[in-house]
C-alpha cells in the first residue's frame, strides 16, 4: 500500500469557515471557531491520519486590510504559511459570494504557489440550488486550481470529495506525526484559545478584537487529578474590562463556565479555572506586547 503524507496550507479571507472546515475534516475540534473576523491568530495544525494517508492542515489567519501591527503580523503569518507546503487550499464562502477579497487572497497566496492548488467553496448548504453553479464558476476563475469542490463544514457535504482531491495531490512519504495525534498545539495554547473563543462568543462591539488570553498557571494534582488553571484575559481599555467582567461579574462567570466545561473534555479531568481581567493598553499596536504574547 502506498502511503501519502503532506502539509496543506488552508488560506482565505476572514469568515470563510477555514477553521470549521479543518475541524470537520480532522474529525475533532482543533481550532476555535467564531463569527468574528480574525479569530485565528496562531498557526494551528490539525492532523488526519488513516491507514494509507496523513494530511496535516495548517490553519491561517484570514487575510485582510490591517489596521494594527497585530493585523500586519497576522497577514505576514498567512503569507509565510504557504512556504514549504505540499498543497494550498483556498476556502471561499459560497453563500456570501465569491468577491474581490477572495481574488486578492488568490493573487497574494495562491497564484504564486507552484504546487497543487485546491479551492473549497464552503457553506454550499446555504446557497439556493440555482446559485451553486455560478459560485463554483466564479471560484474557478480565481486561480489555476487543480480541483474546485463544493463543500459544507456544517453538513459534511463534499468533505470526502475534498479529501480525495487533497490526498491525490500529496506526495508519497512517511507520516509526519504519530497516528494518534490530532494537533501539535501545546495544552496551554489550547486552553487559552478555548477561553478566548468563549469570550469572543459572549462579548460585543469592539471588545472581541481586543481580547488576548494568557495561561499563567497550569498544575495537575497527581493525587486527585484536579487541574488548576489561572488565566489572564487582556483587554486594551478600562471600558472593555468592565464589559468582560460584566455586572456583578456575571459575564466573566459565563465565560469561565463555558470554557471550563470544554477544557475538562479536552483534558479528561476536573478543572478549577480562575479568570482575571487586566488592561494592557493598546497591546495590538505595541510590538513589545505582541512579542510577549507570541504574536
Q: What is the DSSP string of 226-279?
A: -EEEEEEEEESSHHHHHHHH-GGGHHHHHHHHHHHHHHHHHHTS-EEEEEEEEE
User: In the prediction, which pLDDT does 64 show?
Assistant: 72
Tell me how far apart the alpha carbons of residues 230 and 94 are, in angstroms, rounded to a whole number.
41
Mean pLDDT of 171-200: 91
74, 38 in Cβ contact below 8 A?
yes
For residue 130, what pLDDT band results from cuts at 50, 70 and 90? confident
User: In the prediction, which pLDDT does 215 show?
Assistant: 95
Mean pLDDT of 13-20: 90
Residue 195, pLDDT above cutoff 90: yes
Residue 205, pLDDT above cutoff 80: no
Q: Which residue has the higher pLDDT, 106 or 40?
A: 106
Residue extent(s) of CATH 3.30.300.20 domains in the chain: 187-292
Which residues are CB-neighbours of 265 under 8 A, at least 6 positions away? none
Tell me how far apart the alpha carbons of residues 25 and 63 are, in angstroms, rounded to a whole number.
22
Which residues are CB-neighbours of 212 under 8 A, at least 6 positions away? 196, 233, 234, 280, 283, 293, 295
The answer for 159, left when phi > 0, alpha when psi is -120 to 50, beta otherwise, is: alpha
Q: Which residue has the higher pLDDT, 208 or 230?
A: 230
Integer-rounded Cα Rg, in Å, for the chain is: 20
In CATH, what number does 187-292 get? Answer: 3.30.300.20
User: In the prediction, which pLDDT does 145 show?
Assistant: 96
Instruction: Identify the CATH assignment for 4-169 out of 3.40.630.10, 3.40.50.2000, 3.40.50.300, 3.90.1640.10.
Output: 3.40.50.300
Residue extent(s) of CATH 3.40.50.300 domains in the chain: 4-169
* Poorest-pLDDT segment among 35-44, 105-114, 170-179, 217-226: 35-44
59, containing H or E segment: strand 53-59
Per the prediction, the chain carries an average pLDDT of 90
Buried residues in 237-266 as b, exposed as e (16+ CB within 10 A): eeebbebbbeeeeebbeebbebbbebbeee
Cut 0.85: pTM above it: yes
Mean pLDDT of 150-156: 93
* Poorest-pLDDT segment among 10-24, 49-63, 233-247, 257-271: 49-63
Residue 170, pLDDT above cutoff 90: yes
Amino acid at each position: 500500500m502506498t502511503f501519502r503524507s503532506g502539509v496543506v496550507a488552508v488560506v482565505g479571507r476572514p469568515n470563510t469557515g477555514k477553521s470549521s472546515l479543518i475541524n470537520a475534516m480532522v474529525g475533532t475540534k482543533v481550532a476555535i471557531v467564531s463569527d468574528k473576523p480574525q479569530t485565528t491568530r496562531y498557526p494551528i495544525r490539525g492532523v488526519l491520519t488513516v491507514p494509507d494517508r496523513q494530511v496535516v492542515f495548517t490553519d491561517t489567519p484570514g487575510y485582510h486590510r490591517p489596521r494594527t501591527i497585530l493585523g500586519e503580523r497576522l497577514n505576514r503569518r498567512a503569507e509565510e504559511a504557504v512556504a514549504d507546503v505540499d498543497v494550498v487550499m483556498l476556502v471561499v464562502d459560497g453563500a456570501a459570494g465569491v468577491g474581490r477579497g477572495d481574488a486578492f487572497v488568490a493573487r497574494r497566496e495562491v497564484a504564486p504557489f507552484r504546487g497543487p492548488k485546491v479551492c473549497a467553496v464552503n457553506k454550499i448548504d446555504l446557497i439556493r440550488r440555482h446559485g451553486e453553479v455560478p459560485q463554483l464558476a466564479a471560484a474557478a476563475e480565481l486561480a489555476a486550481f487543480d480541483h474546485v469542490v463544493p463543500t459544507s463544514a456544517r453538513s459534511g457535504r463534499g468533505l470526502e470529495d475534498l479529501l480525495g482531491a487533497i490526498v491525490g495531490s500529496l506526495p508519497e512519504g512517511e507520516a509526519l506525526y504519530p497516528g494518534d495525534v490530532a494537533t501539535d498545539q501545546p495544552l496551554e495554547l489550547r486552553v487559552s484559545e478555548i477561553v478566548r473563543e468563549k469570550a469572543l462568543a459572549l462579548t460585543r462591539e469592539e471588545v472581541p478584537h481586543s481580547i488576548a488570553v494568557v495561561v499563567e498557571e497550569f498544575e495537575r494534582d497527581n493525587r486527585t487529578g484536579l487541574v488548576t488553571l489561572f488565566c489572564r484575559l487582556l483587554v486594551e481599555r478600562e471600558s472593555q474590562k468592565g464589559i468582560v467582567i460584566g455586572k456583578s461579574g456575571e459575564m466573566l462567570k459565563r465565560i469561565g463556565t463555558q470554557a471550563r466545561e470544554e477544557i475538562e473534555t479536552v483534558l479528561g479531568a476536573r478543572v478549577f479555572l480562575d479568570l482575571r481581567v487586566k488592561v494592557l493598553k493598546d497591546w495590538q499596536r505595541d510590538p513589545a506586547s505582541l512579542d510577549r504574547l507570541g504574536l
